Amino acid sequence: MRILIIEDDNETADYLAKGLKETGYTVDRAADGREGLFLATSETYDAMIVDRMLPGMDGLAIVQSLRAQGKLTPVLILSALGQVDDRVRGLQAGGDDYLTKPYAFSELLARVQALLRRQKPGAADTTLKVGELELDLLARTARRAGKPIDLLPREFRLLEFLMRHAGQVVTRTMLLERVWDYHFDPQTNVIDVHVSRLRQKIDKGFASAMLHTVRGAGYRLGVEPA
């Protein structure tokens, strides 16, 4: 997997590149907008991380010109501008996800992995399967090892999201954004409570846990423990 980082701040770029390389990705770097756009159009990447404010060319302009050329490389936009309007503008320009500085590397990694996963075909699945866990998207039913699990509508959406990102870390903010469709900062552990209720339903009475808490990052659904 090749990832392009377009970021003018050397230290941030170093930190991102180091983290991503340790996770097992190949990383290319561009320090300004023009070089970034050149690399993005001439090479093939699986995902791009684009800073919004760049010398030479604005990050949004890069994404727009990429999209205009028909390149669908998933893009994560990084920005120090966290206001609702800026977010919307970033996504309208063709970005696939938007992350406000400062961020935790775990959050960034989780989002990049989600972007990489999203590319894979299979959006038309009617059932999702992770280990013993099965989700029927048409009948809206869930089973583990054949045993039906009774889920509330929101719990179903939560589980669906976790299963679509099985094996990956998903953060609390990602869950709020994708499952609840709100982008805000809860002062309390609201998401944790929802996840622990879901965990009760899918893990209780089974020998192995499938819904794991990843300390300092979020959650991961998978057969094998972290």
By rule CB under 8 A, what count of residues binds another protein?
A: 26
d(CA 160, CA 124): 13
Q: Do the beta carbons of residue 163 and residue 221 sit within 8 Å?
A: yes
User: Which residues inside 66-125 make contact with another protein, applying CB under 8 A?
Assistant: 82-85, 88-89, 92-93, 102
When computed from its CA atoms, the radius of gyration of the chain, rounded to whole angstroms, is 19
- What's the closest the beta carbon of residue 31 comes to another protein, in angstroms? 25
183 interacts with another protein by CB under 8 A: yes
Q: Decide: residue 170, CB within 10 A, 0-12 exposed, 13-18 middle, 19+ buried.
A: buried
The nearer residue to another protein, 27 or 93, going by C-beta atoms, is: 93
- What's the closest the beta carbon of residue 83 comes to another protein, in angstroms? 5
DSSP E strands in 16-126: the ranges are 26-30, 47-51, 75-79, 97-100
The nearer residue to another protein, 83 or 119, going by C-beta atoms, is: 83
Chain positions contacting another protein, by CB under 8 A: 60, 64, 82-85, 88-89, 92-93, 102, 154, 180, 182-190, 193-194, 197, 216
